[in-house]
Amino acid sequence: MRIAVLSDIHGNLPALDAVLEALAPFDAVWQLGDVVGYGPQPDEVVARLVDVGATGVRGNHDAAAIGELETSAFNTDARTAVLWTGTHIGAGTRRWLAALPETSSKDGFTLAHGSLRDPTWEYVLTTPAARASLAILTTAHAFIGHTHVPLVFREDDGLVEMLAPSDGSQLQLDGRRTLLNPGSVGQPRDGDPRASAVLLDTGAGTVEWRRVPYDIATTQARMRAVGLPPRLVERLEYGQ
C-alpha cells in the first residue's frame, strides 16, 4: 500500500491539492491533525479530505476550533485565526473534526499530532522529548506532526538519533523504533515555503519526504480577503 501521510494542513487548500497531485497515485491518506486553523479554507480542506477518504487524528487547532480546547495557550495570531475558524466552519466540518481521535493505530503505525505522551500539545524537536515518546510507543513506528518541521527520531541500541530529511530523502524502516514527522502541508516552518509531506510504502517499508511548490499567493490573497492576521499571511512565503 502507498499511503500519503499529511500533517498540519491548516486550511490551506492550494497546498493540499498540490500535495495530493504530487504524491498520487496512493491507496490511502492519513492525516496527523491541525486540519484547520491559520488558513482561509477550513471547510474546503475537510471536504477534500472526505473525498479522498482520509483518516487520522485531531490537533490542538482542530480541538480549539470546535470549542473543545481552551485558546488561552495559543499566541495572539493563532487565537485570532482559530476563533475565526470556529465561527466560519459549517456543521459538517464541525462533526468531522469532533469525530477525530487523539491517537490512532493503523497497520503497525501509531498516529498522533504532538507526541505520544501529550498528543495535543507537546512539540517533539529534541532527542529527550523523542525518547519519552519512544518509551511508551506500542507499535514499531509512529507518525507525528505539530512542529511543522520534517524530522525523524530513531532509537538505536538505547540511543536516539535525529535525522532531518529533505526533498527526496528516503528512509528504510526496520526493527528500530522511529518517530516520523512529515512536516507541514499548509504552513512549513523549516525555512522552505514548499508544502511538505511523505509517502509511505508499506510493502517496501520505505518513507519518502517530498517538498511540493504550490500557489502561495492565492492562499495569501484569500487570507487577506477574510481578514486573517498579516503576520500569518506573510510567514507562508518564508516558510517560517
Rounded to the nearest whole angstrom, what is the least distance from the CB of residue 174 to Zn ion in the complex? Answer: 29
Here the cell at position 32 is 496527523
# of chain residues touching Zn ion (CB under 5 A): 2
Whose CA is closest to 66, among 85, 44, 39, 42?
Answer: 85
- Least Cβ distance, residue 146 to Zn ion (angstroms): 6
Rg (CA), the chain: 16
Among 205, 209, 213, 211, smallest CA distance to 2 is for 205
CB of 61 to Zn ion, least distance (A): 6
Q: Which is nearer to Zn ion, 131 or 189 (CB)?
A: 189
Q: Is 208 in the site for Zn ion (CB under 5 A)?
A: no
In the complex, residue closest to Zn ion by CB: 34
Q: How far is the CB of 187 from Zn ion (least distance, A)?
A: 7
Select the residue interacting with Zn ion from 3, 6, 8, 16 (CB under 5 A). Answer: 8
Binders of Zn ion among residues 154 to 173 (CB under 5 A) are none
Rounded Cα–Cα distance for residues 31 and 100 (Å): 10
> Which residue, 69 or 160, has its beta carbon nearer to Zn ion?
69
Residues 6+ apart with CB under 8 A from 158: none
Return the residues of window 34-73 that contact Zn ion according to CB under 5 A: 34
How far apart are alpha carbons 124 and 77 in whole angstroms?
A: 22
What residues make contact with Zn ion under the rule CB under 5 A? 8, 34
